[in-house]
Amino acid sequence: MATPSYKHFLVHHPLPFVAHVEINRPQKLNAFYEEMWLEFKTVFDTLSHSPDVRAIILSGAGDRAFTAGLDVEAASQSGILVQASGEADVARKAVQIKRHVEEFQNCVGSVEKCEKPVICVLHGFAFGLALDISTCADIRIASADVKLAVKEVDIGLAADIGTLSRLPKLVGNFGWVKDVALSARVFGAEEAYRVGFVSQVHENKQKAIEAALEMAELLATKSPVAVQGTKELLNHARDHTLLDSLRYTGVWNSAAIQTSDVERAMLSGLKKRKPTFEKL
């Protein structure tokens, strides 16, 4: 399939229906500046709607980092900090800054909004923005060398791109989140696994990518209607009451259950068949 090329991201298709996105600025430890997070959203919006993609892997290019987070050099010279020091009155500056933060949140949130499941491979330095991004992903796999940190307090900020909103819900442990977010201390793969932030740990980045490919290949064999519905319903359940979630599930499946995928899949276990599914 034809893949658009991007300035800051490599997108490969290593297996049928599987895309692999690499954050591609290894010389700066994959640190993000504004043009990059805008392009990040384009990448994920495009994959979200591609009928040739059913599962996505996200990792960093190079051996040293998933991402060292916000490009602190670029941020100190532009964007929010410049807006904050401009001539406008406080209210006008605040509105500008709020718009900027929300746009940044939406770019990172394109991983969560993506219709396809996203498997994040965390390796090397994974600071700040790495947590904002990976908490949006559906599955997190770590390399044993990963160095994670909710780093924002160390650059004078309360994290505002998603970590403080998503991480407590993800691990279900506010105490631990406060420990790592207030201190910005670096924690490793074993601790991330113990608290349930990552679901697998592998001895190095290569093995973690192999595990992610295996998982992506498995997801890609399943009904895309069922997999995408499962992502949508779990994300909805996280943010709503039990009753709202049950009601939404009923409405969602009133359409989704009519898919031909159910016919193809229902007896496949019993009949020892491997069903195939139309593109979505």
Ligand X SMILES: CC/C=C\C=C\CC(=O)SCCNC(=O)CCNC(=O)[C@H](O)C(C)(C)COP(=O)(O)OP(=O)(O)OC[C@H]1O[C@@H](n2cnc3c(N)ncnc32)[C@H](O)[C@@H]1OP(=O)(O)O
Q: Which residues of the shown chain bind ligand X in the complex (CB under 6 A)?
A: 28-29, 31, 68-73, 80, 101, 104, 125, 127-129, 151-152, 155, 157, 160-161
In the complex, the smallest distance separating the C-beta of residue 225 from ligand X, rounded to whole angstroms, is: 35
Distances (CA, A) of 204 to 9, 37, 183, 195: 22, 27, 27, 20
In the complex, the smallest distance separating the C-beta of residue 76 from ligand X, rounded to whole angstroms, is: 9
Instruction: Give the nearest residue (CB) to ligand X.
Output: 128
In the complex, the smallest distance separating the C-beta of residue 77 from ligand X, rounded to whole angstroms, is: 11
In the complex, the smallest distance separating the C-beta of residue 257 from ligand X, rounded to whole angstroms, is: 41
Q: What is d(CA 251, CA 261) in angstroms, rounded to the nearest whole number?
A: 18
**Residue whose CB is less far from ligand X, 70 or 211:** 70
Q: What is d(CA 54, CA 51) in angstroms, rounded to the nearest whole number?
A: 8
Of 233, 226, 228, the closest CA to residue 263 belongs to 226
**Residue whose CB is less far from ligand X, 51 or 86:** 86
> For residue 85, what is the DSSP state?
T
Q: In the numeric block, which tokens belong to residue 60?
A: 């960093």
**Residue whose CB is less far from ligand X, 179 or 232:** 179
Q: What is d(CA 65, CA 147) in angstroms, rounded to the nearest whole number?
A: 9
**Residue whose CB is less far from ligand X, 22 or 71:** 71
Q: In the numeric block, which tokens belong to residue 32?
A: 């993000």
